[in-house]
A and B are shown apart, each in its own frame.
Chain A
């Protein structure tokens, strides 16, 4: 049973990590409360489905076009919906909730409430310590690791990353230093949505595509980012693995309580916050800044 928990927790943690990186960037680093983040993930999954399954384009073309289209669309949404209310956090929150619901209803109108399946990019299964793991899940782990490294490099090794961190730290000072804070915020939204879209393209084949698929990951992502510490990519990775392992342990230790796995994960998050309100790596991030 131990090997089942170790492998299952790691693989599911990888899925969460891929989803959490973009959310960590937008919510944790740029401090833009974009509730529509996972709705963009949903849009990317639908886009990928349409191009791959309906239009018959290949995996690579469908994936690249989906990520590019959703990213460009997010820039448009930023200019029309988020930028006008950017200074008021609660207004951004409400505007992005509305945006997410509009996306949901649009998908419901266009595709109906049908549950759709996307073929795996990599077919087959590998046996790890006696546990069957599909290749697609390993692909998710690899992509999550690559995205994590790429995002870290962007934030800490480029001028844009410096601008994003500076704007997140103090928007007025950043503006006084000559940074175009609106453009930086738009770039942050675009990068984080691109990460969400990549997650949609890579993760959707192991799940089910439907208009409500954005809701459940949103809660989990919120928990991971808060648990890991606002703004810490390392924290998000650890948070994702913690949630992945807690869920696996819940299912193995309490089969008839498998439906509680989300609630147990969130309870642990609350406990961690009670003991360490800044999250696991929140302080480290503050020092880094």
Chain B
């Protein structure tokens, strides 16, 4: 009994001593899913790089990075995500929170972080309300910053820019003044504003909307939808999809030898596993994405290569937890403290050259959208490889391809 007690005291003392030399970053993500895996992998890379170089300089003292792995399970349960957030703040005593993926969960997680005045760098959710909160009630929500992706309206701006480029290529190839576009958007809250804006914008871009199909977010079969789209004579299938239906759509379009090309947001198509998941049928599927071996910033290519070497696959956008930790490192070293109130103004004025973007923030603490900086990239699956094609001015881009007619 006495021996156990002494051991517990010794362990507690050791852990306190260790804690004195570390800064704790809680990495919040659905760890059983690709998004969480990438949250954690990006953070591990940042931790190892910083610790190998001696740590983060805080007022003349070097402190090591300590990561807390918090499985939010937010894909399945929002309460699990809020519980994980509570736990890392109250039990694990995290200094900073990074991550989140599903908007509904991140909105709730944001509240908990703000209650505790913890800096929370979002690395996954696009919902505009997260930034609107900062504008509406700055004193409460100023600790929130969005690192990736850009907010939903800015995702739309990127999509329209890429679609314009694809439309021009299609007009030349098909000798058709108005390419026909079928919109396929899963029925969820985040797709609604994008879909409505698309319906209004496409005619102005001299594109004909032949129909809008809205399968369920959990649908895994779109054969009926694709039959109707084929019959409608679509040249482009514009996707606004985050769920498994993105795989079914890519695979079933390939199986049917459809001549239309799919472009839009297809979260599943951003993953390296997409080609295998479509059983090699997902050729020509294209999507807005974040990482590829192209020079969005000077750090992008080395990071992607190092990530591939370590994890044997390419990073997805939630691996920008790497950038989040590096931003905080820069802010802490500049401010000489880990005090959240003192770090907020430093982050607000920062322009950080990261691996995913050249980041700077507006008054909502949302990334300022700019092509070649934060707008993302267009990628297309070509014969088993995810090939970057937009923006063309960035070094390393390759041509966008269309199915033979």
List the interface of chain A (C-beta within 8 A of B). Answer: 1, 4, 7-8, 11-12, 15, 53, 108-109, 112-120, 125, 131-132, 134, 136-137, 205-208, 210, 212-213, 216, 247-248, 251-252, 255-259, 261-262
**Contact at A256–B231, with CB atoms within 8 Å?**
no
Whole-angstrom distance between the alpha carbons of A136 and B256 in the complex? 12
B138 within 8 A of A: no
**Contact at A11–B223, with CB atoms within 8 Å?**
yes
Which of A15, A53, A114, A210 has its CB near the most chain B CB atoms (within 10 A)? A114
Smallest CB separation, B364 vs chain A (Å) = 31
**Contact at A131–B227, with CB atoms within 8 Å?**
yes
List the interface of chain B (C-beta within 8 A of A). Answer: 30, 32-34, 37, 75, 186-187, 211-221, 223-225, 227-228, 230-231, 244, 247-248, 251-252, 255-258, 268, 273, 276-280
Whole-angstrom distance between the alpha carbons of A57 and B252 in the complex? 25
Smallest CB separation, B312 vs chain A (Å) = 14
User: Would you mind naming 28 contact pairs between A and B with Cβ atoms under 8 Å apart?
Assistant: A8-B224, A11-B223, A113-B30, A113-B34, A114-B34, A114-B273, A115-B268, A116-B277, A117-B251, A117-B276, A120-B255, A131-B227, A132-B257, A134-B256, A137-B223, A205-B279, A206-B221, A206-B252, A207-B221, A207-B248, A208-B220, A208-B248, A212-B218, A247-B224, A251-B224, A255-B211, A256-B211, A262-B216
Residues of A within 8 A of B34 (CB): 112-114
Residues of A within 8 A of B257 (CB): 125, 132
**Contact at B212–A256, with CB atoms within 8 Å?**
yes
Residues of B within 8 A of A257 (CB): 214
Whole-angstrom distance between the alpha carbons of A116 and B276 in the complex? 7
Smallest CB separation, B8 vs chain A (Å) = 31
**Secondary structure at chain A's binding surface: helix, strand, loop or mixed?**
helix
**Contact at B230–A119, with CB atoms within 8 Å?**
no
Q: Which of B216, B231, B244, B279 contacts A118 (CB 8 A)?
A: B279
Residues of B within 8 A of A252 (CB): 224, 227-228
Instruction: Say yes or no: A208-B277 contact (C-beta < 8 A), given A1-B231, A134-B256.
Output: yes
Smallest CB separation, B363 vs chain A (Å) = 36
Residues of B within 8 A of A210 (CB): 244
Smallest CB separation, B241 vs chain A (Å) = 12
**Contact at B279–A117, with CB atoms within 8 Å?**
yes
Closest to B199 in A: A256
Whole-angstrom distance between the alpha carbons of A256 and B183 in the complex? 9
Whole-angstrom distance between the alpha carbons of A113 and B247 in the complex? 14
Residues of A within 8 A of B279 (CB): 117-120, 205
**Contact at A115–B187, with CB atoms within 8 Å?**
no
Q: Which of A112, A247, A262 contacts B32 (CB 8 A)?
A: A112
Whole-angstrom distance between the alpha carbons of A247 and B252 in the complex? 17
Residues of B within 8 A of A259 (CB): 186-187, 214-217, 219
**Contact at A248–B224, with CB atoms within 8 Å?**
yes
Top 6 A-B pairs, shortest CB-CB distance: A113-B33, A259-B187, A117-B277, A251-B224, A132-B256, A259-B216
Whole-angstrom distance between the alpha carbons of A175 and B273 in the complex? 53
Whole-angstrom distance between the alpha carbons of A217 and B381 in the complex? 30
Closest to A252 in B: B228
Whole-angstrom distance between the alpha carbons of A11 and B30 in the complex? 36
